[in-house]
Amino acid sequence: MNDKREEIPAELAQYLAQSIVSTLPADVYEELKSLSPEELEALTRLGQALRRGKCEPHHYAYAIH
């Protein structure tokens, strides 16, 4: 993490993941589950680049289309 926090404890990571996943539309969740490790890595890099570029969240969808 870039703000020097410690690694997220596994229990907290699991809770956060479940909380976030429960708000996703079912088709989005299924699509994310189907991604390969390489595709997930590319998605991670894209998210990092958008944050570094200080792209506003409402521009994310436009950026990936």
Decide if 47 is inside a domain. Answer: yes
Decide if 56 is inside a domain. Answer: yes
Decide if 30 is inside a domain. Answer: yes
Q: How many domains does the chain have?
A: 1
Write the DSSP symbol of residue 23. T
pLDDT per residue as tens digits for the range 17-40? 899 989 999 998 999 999 999 999
Decide if 44 is inside a domain. Answer: yes
Of 28, 29, 61, 27, the C-alpha closest to 47 is: 61
pLDDT value at 2 more than 60: no
| Domain boundaries, position 46 | 20-64
Distance of CA 50 to the CA centre of its chain: 12
pLDDT value at 46 more than 80: yes
Taking every pair of Cα atoms in the chain, the longest distance, rounded to a whole number of angstroms, is: 34
Give percent of the chain with pLDDT exceeding 90.
46
Q: Is 60 helix (H, G, I), strand (E, B) or coil?
A: helix
Residue with tokens 């969240």: 57
Q: What is the pLDDT of residue 8?
A: 87
